[in-house]
Amino acid sequence: MEREMHAELSFHIEARAEDLVRGGVPREEALRQARIEFGGMERAKEECRDARGTNFVQSLIQDLRFGLRMLRKNPGFTAVAVLTLALGIGANTAIFSVVKAVLLRPLPFKDPALLVRVNESVDKGTRSPVAYPNYLDWRTRSKVFEEMAAFGDCEVIIGGKDKAERAFCEQATDTYFPLLGVSAVIGRTFAPEENSTPMRHAVALIGYGLWQRRYGSDPEILGKTVELNNFDFMIIGVLPKGFLGYSDSAEVWIPMVMRDALWPQTAKYDFLHNRDVHYHKVLARLKPNISLANAQAEMETIAAQIAKAYPKENRERGVLVTPAEEDFVRGFRTPLLTLLAAAVFVLLIACANVANLLLTRGAVRDRELAIRLALGAGRGRLVRQFLAESFLLTMAGAGAGLALSFWGLDLLVSVLPLSFPSFARAHLDGGVLAFAFVLASATAMLLAVFPTASSAHHNVNESLKEAAKSSTGLRGRHFGRVLITGEVALALVLMIGAGLLLKSLSHLLADNPGFRPDHLVTLRFYVPDREYEGDGRKRFGPELAERIAQFPGVESAAATFIDPFLWGGLQRGFTVEGHAPISNAESDTVYYQEIGPNYFKTMGIPVLQGRDFSTRDSIKSRLVVMVSQSFAHRYWPGQEAVGKRLKYGPEDSTNPWVEVIGVAGNVKYNSLRQDPGSEPVIYGALLQSEVIINMSLIVRTRTAPEVMLGPLREEMQRIDPAIPVYNVATFSERMHEDSAETRSYGFLLGLFAALALLLAAVGIYGVMSYWVTQRTREMGIRLTFGARRGDLLRLVIGEGVWLAGIGVAAGSLGALAVTRAMASFLYEVKPFEPALFAMQAIALLGVVVLACYIPARRAMRVDPMVALRYE
C-alpha cells in the first residue's frame, strides 16, 4: 500500500517533469520544479493515509510493526517482561489444562447432565449404599426418572487355576448399560430375564482391555467361558474400548442376581431380598424436564412410604439424589481451584511488574509521545499503539508460557497425587489454547491501561520542556505504592497457604501412628477358595503367618483382614451392655477389624490391659473381642474395660454377647490424618471369623524391609501357588503415599509462593530503583541541607517497609479468608496460626528490605553537586 502510494506520487512528479522538459526546461531543473509545484511530499502522503480511511487491519499491522521495533530496540526490557509473563501465563495454562480435563470435562456417558446418583442417607446427610429391595421399590414407584439401575463393584479372581489375575467386577442390572448409553461392540449386554431369576443365567460381559489382553482379541469370543472366583460364566459380549463402568475400574460384568456365585460364603445374607444389607449403588437418568429438586422431593415421599412399611430396617434412613458428576469431581475441586487461584496470584504479580516496567519506560518515552502528539497523532492512535505493544508482549509471554506448560504439564500431573478419573487426560488442546489466548488478551488490556492513563493527562508543552518528569513521577509513585502493597499482600497469602500445608506435612510425618512403622511390610492375598473349606479357611491366614514367621530375616508375622491405610475395616452396628442404643452415625465411626495371633506384637502396638488373642481363641471356644483404648475410653470411661460385654446388631438381636479380653493402644490405620481417638476399633479374632475372603499378612523384618518384599511374596506362593498376592508394600511406602496429597499440594503451593516472592522482590526493586532515580535531585538537596547518608538509606528502606507493612496487613486478612478453604488439607494446623503468619510476614519483610537496600545504597552515594545539576 505504501509502495503503491509512493509509485503513484513518483509517477506524478515524473510526468510533470517530462511535460516541463518538452517545454524546453533541462531535465534536472524540470524535476526540481515539479517537486516544488507538488509541495510537501511527506505531508501529502500522511494526508493520503488519513484520507484512505483507517483501515483497521492495516493500521493494526502498522502498530504491531512499530511495537515490534520498539520491543527489539529494548531487548533487556522485552526479555524481562516476556519471561515474567511467561511464568505467570504458563503456570495458569498448566493448571487450567488439569482443571479442564478433570472438572470441566463431561462424564463419558450418554447425556451426563441428566445422570444422577440415588443414595440412601443416614442422619439426613451422609450418603449410604442402598438395599436392593429398596432400589426395586424406588424403580417401580418413581416417575421422575427415565430409567434406574443398580450395581455393585468388587474384586474378583479371573481364572483360578491358570493365569489367575485380579480384576474389578461390577454386578449390574440389565438397565445399567442402556442407562449409561453403552452397547457391546461384540455380542450384547444383559437381557431383562438374565437379571430376574437369581443364579439362573451365568453370563458375563468383558471389557475391551481384558478381551485384548487375556483373549488375544479373539473374534469368536462369544460363548466362551470365563472363570470368576472359580465359577464359570459364559461371555455374551465385549464392551467398547475405554469403558470401565461407573466405578471407572471394572473389566468384567455379571448380572446383579448372579452375585452369590462370586461370594457363596455371603449368600446367607441374601443381598437381593434383605432390606438391612445396604450395599448397592444406584444410578438414574432424570426425565428431561425434571429438576434435581423435583426428583429429591419425589424420592423423599417414596422413602417415607418405605420407611413406614419397614420401620426397623430403615431407621434414620432417608434418600439423597445427587448429580453423578459430583462423584468424579468432588475430591478434586478444592485442591485444583486452590492451585488455580495460586497461579492467578502469580500472574497478577507478574502483571503488576510488567505494568511497572511499562510505566517507568513510559516516563522515558514522555518526550517521544509528546513529539508525536505535537505532530498531530491522535490520542486514540497512541492508545492503540500501547495496546499493540502490550499485546505483542503478552502474546510473546503466552507463547513462551505455553511452551513452559507443555514441558511442565507431565511433571505437574506426575506431582499431583490425585488419581484422576481414567477419562480425564490433561493435555494442551484447543480449549487450553483458547484459555491462554483469552488470558493473554485480558493481561494485554490490563497492561495497556497504565501507560495510556498516564499519557492521557499529557500536557504536550510541559513534556517537551522536560518539566513533566516530576508529574509522571507522582503518578508513577502512586502506582508504585499500590504495586508494593498489592504484591506483598498476594505473595503473603501464597506463603501462608504453602506454610500451612508444609507444617501439616511435618505433623503428618512426625506424628506417632501408634505402632512402629519401620521394618514392617504388608502383603495382601486371597484365601484360595476350594482347597480350604470350613474351618480351614479361618485357620489359613494365621497358619500362613506362622510359617512365614519361620522364614529367614523375619522377626514376626501376623494376619489381619484390613489393608493398612487403604481399607480400615468394616463398620457394623453394635450394642454395649448397659449403654443406651448407639446410633448408626456413631457406630459408623467404629471400625471392626479381624486379626490373627501375634498381630499387636508384630505391629508394635502395646496391649494396655488384659491379654492378646491366642491360638486358643478359636471356633471351639467362646467368642471374645479386644478393643482400642479409645473404644474403652468412650464406652467405659474411668472403668476397667476387660470383662465388659458387647454384641453385634441391636440389643434384641439374636447375636451372642461377646466379652472384652484386652485393650490395645490407639493406632492410625485409615490415614495419617486420622485421629485415632475418634475412630475406635473393635478387634475380632480371625480364628473365630464367619466370613473371610481376603486378608493381609503383616511381617516385621530383621533386615531392610524393601528387599524382603520379593522373597516374601515368592515364599507365600511357594507355600500355595494358587494364592494371588497383591498390594505388596512396606509401611513407610504406604504412609508416604498417604501423605502424598498434602506433600504435593504443599510442594506446588510452595513453588508458587517462591515464584510470587521472587517476582514481588523484583517488582519492589524496580519500583524503588525508579524512585531513587526520580528523586536524585531531592536527595542532593537533602544532603546539601545536612542530611546524613544514613538518613537517606533509612528514608528509602523506611518507605518500602512502610508500604510492605500495609501489604502484610492486607495479606494476612486475605490469607485468613483464603486458607479457610484449605482446612480439609490441613492436619493439626488451624487455618489461623499466629506464629506461622508472623514468621512468613517477617520473612517477606526481610526480602522487601533486601529489595530496597540496593536502590537505597545508590541514593546514599548521591553526589550533591551532580544531583543538583541533574535534569
Partner 1 sequence: MDKQMDLLQGTLDMLILKAVSLGPLHGYGVLLRIQQISKDRLEIQQGSLYPALYRLEHQGWIASEWGESENKRKAKYYRLTAAGKRKLQTEAEKWNRMADVIAGILQTRPEEV
**Closer CB to partner 1, 29 or 577, in the complex:** 29
For residue 274, the 8-state DSSP code is -
**Closer CB to partner 1, 44 or 64, in the complex:** 44
**Closer CB to partner 1, 3 or 69, in the complex:** 3
Q: Which three cell numbers stand for residue 710?
A: 520379593
**Segment lying near partner 1 (by CB under 8 A), choices 12-20, 504-512, 634-642, 776-784:** 12-20
Strand partners, 522: 698, 729
Residues 22-41 within binding reach of partner 1 (CB under 8 A): 37-41
> Which of 2, 28, 29, 47: binder of partner 1 (CB under 8 A)?
47
**Closer CB to partner 1, 44 or 839, in the complex:** 44
Residue pair 11/33 in contact by the 8 Å Cβ criterion: no
Query: 785-817 burial, b for 16+ CB within 10 Å, e for fewer?
Result: eeeeeeebbebbbebbbebbeebbebbbebbee
**Segment lying near partner 1 (by CB under 8 A), choices 51-59, 63-71, 261-269, 650-658:** 51-59
> Which of 8, 586, 690, 706: binder of partner 1 (CB under 8 A)?
8
> Which of 28, 50, 368, 675: binder of partner 1 (CB under 8 A)?
50
Distance of CA 198 to the CA centre of its chain: 43
**Segment lying near partner 1 (by CB under 8 A), choices 13-21, 358-366, 739-747, 823-831:** 13-21
CB 381 to partner 1: min, Å: 18
CB 8 to partner 1: min, Å: 5
Rounded Cα gap, residues 594 and 694, in angstroms: 11
Using CB under 8 A as the binding rule, whether residue 14 contacts partner 1 is answered as: yes
Residue pair 471/330 in contact by the 8 Å Cβ criterion: no
Q: How many other C-beta atoms lie within 10 A of the C-beta of residue 358?
A: 24
Phi, psi of 536 (to 5 degrees): -60, -35
**Segment lying near partner 1 (by CB under 8 A), choices 43-51, 134-142, 307-315, 815-823:** 43-51
CB 22 to partner 1: min, Å: 11
**Closer CB to partner 1, 5 or 460, in the complex:** 5
**Closer CB to partner 1, 39 or 786, in the complex:** 39
Rounded Cα gap, residues 282 and 267, in angstroms: 21
> Which of 48, 460, 607, 693: binder of partner 1 (CB under 8 A)?
48
Rounded Cα gap, residues 833 and 825, in angstroms: 15
CB 425 to partner 1: min, Å: 52
Helix (H, G, I), strand (E, B) or coil at 165: strand
Using CB under 8 A as the binding rule, whether residue 714 contacts partner 1 is answered as: no
Q: Is 252 exposed, middle or buried (0-12, 13-18, 19+ CB in 10 A)?
A: buried
Q: Is 342 exposed, middle or buried (0-12, 13-18, 19+ CB in 10 A)?
A: buried
Strands 126-128 and 115-122: antiparallel
- In 428-511 the beta strands, taken as DSSP E runs, fall at none
- State the DSSP H helix or E strand holding residue 463, giving kind and residue range, or none if neither: helix 460-464
User: Would you say how long the chain is, in residues?
Assistant: 871
CB 25 to partner 1: min, Å: 17
Using CB under 8 A as the binding rule, whether residue 2 contacts partner 1 is answered as: no
Rounded Cα gap, residues 672 and 379, in angstroms: 63
Residues 529, 534, 536, 541, CA torsion sign = positive
- By CB under 8 A, the count of residues binding partner 1 is 24
CB 33 to partner 1: min, Å: 11
> Which of 23, 24, 43, 163: binder of partner 1 (CB under 8 A)?
43
Rounded Cα gap, residues 461 and 638, in angstroms: 90
Half-sphere exposure of 79 (CA within 13 A, CB side): 4
Residue pair 740/501 in contact by the 8 Å Cβ criterion: no
CB 2 to partner 1: min, Å: 13
Longest dimension (CA), the chain: 137
> Which of 2, 6, 11, 427: binder of partner 1 (CB under 8 A)?
11
**Closer CB to partner 1, 5 or 849, in the complex:** 5
> Which of 21, 25, 44, 83: binder of partner 1 (CB under 8 A)?
44
CB 50 to partner 1: min, Å: 7
Rounded Cα gap, residues 453 and 390, in angstroms: 14
CB 21 to partner 1: min, Å: 12
**Closer CB to partner 1, 34 or 829, in the complex:** 34
Using CB under 8 A as the binding rule, whether residue 7 contacts partner 1 is answered as: yes
> Which of 4, 162, 533, 652: binder of partner 1 (CB under 8 A)?
4
**Segment lying near partner 1 (by CB under 8 A), choices 9-17, 73-81, 442-450, 556-564:** 9-17
Q: Is 707 exposed, middle or buried (0-12, 13-18, 19+ CB in 10 A)?
A: exposed
Q: Is 457 exposed, middle or buried (0-12, 13-18, 19+ CB in 10 A)?
A: exposed
Rounded Cα gap, residues 180 and 590, in angstroms: 36
Strand partners, 664: 607, 628
CB 373 to partner 1: min, Å: 22
**Segment lying near partner 1 (by CB under 8 A), choices 6-14, 730-738, 796-804, 853-861:** 6-14
**Closer CB to partner 1, 30 or 412, in the complex:** 30
**Closer CB to partner 1, 52 or 457, in the complex:** 52
**Closer CB to partner 1, 39 or 534, in the complex:** 39
CB 464 to partner 1: min, Å: 28
Rounded Cα gap, residues 871 and 773, in angstroms: 11
**Closer CB to partner 1, 37 or 690, in the complex:** 37
**Closer CB to partner 1, 18 or 529, in the complex:** 18
Rounded Cα gap, residues 744 and 163, in angstroms: 37
**Segment lying near partner 1 (by CB under 8 A), choices 1-9, 354-362, 566-574, 843-851:** 1-9
Q: Which three cell numbers stand for residue 201?
A: 443365567
CB 6 to partner 1: min, Å: 11
Cβ neighbors of 303 (< 8 A, separation 6 or more) are 120, 314, 317, 318, 319
Residues 783-822 within binding reach of partner 1 (CB under 8 A): none
Rounded Cα gap, residues 701 and 715, in angstroms: 14
Using CB under 8 A as the binding rule, whether residue 12 contacts partner 1 is answered as: yes
Residues 386-415 within binding reach of partner 1 (CB under 8 A): none
In 3D, which of 137, 116, 53 has the Cα closest to residue 322?
A: 116
CB 457 to partner 1: min, Å: 32
Q: How many other C-beta atoms lie within 10 A of the C-beta of residue 592?
A: 19
In 3D, which of 560, 670, 675, 674 has the Cα closest to residue 626?
A: 560
**Segment lying near partner 1 (by CB under 8 A), choices 2-10, 127-135, 353-361, 433-441:** 2-10
**Segment lying near partner 1 (by CB under 8 A), choices 4-12, 162-170, 340-348, 638-646:** 4-12
For residue 568, the 8-state DSSP code is -
**Closer CB to partner 1, 30 or 841, in the complex:** 30
**Segment lying near partner 1 (by CB under 8 A), choices 47-55, 210-218, 559-567, 572-580:** 47-55
Q: Which amino acid is at 705?
A: P
> Which of 6, 52, 188, 333: binder of partner 1 (CB under 8 A)?
52
**Closer CB to partner 1, 48 or 415, in the complex:** 48
In 3D, which of 411, 408, 447 has the Cα closest to residue 82?
A: 447
**Segment lying near partner 1 (by CB under 8 A), choices 11-19, 115-123, 333-341, 814-822:** 11-19
Interface positions with partner 1 (CB under 8 A): 4-5, 7-9, 11-12, 14-16, 18, 37-41, 43-44, 47-48, 50-53
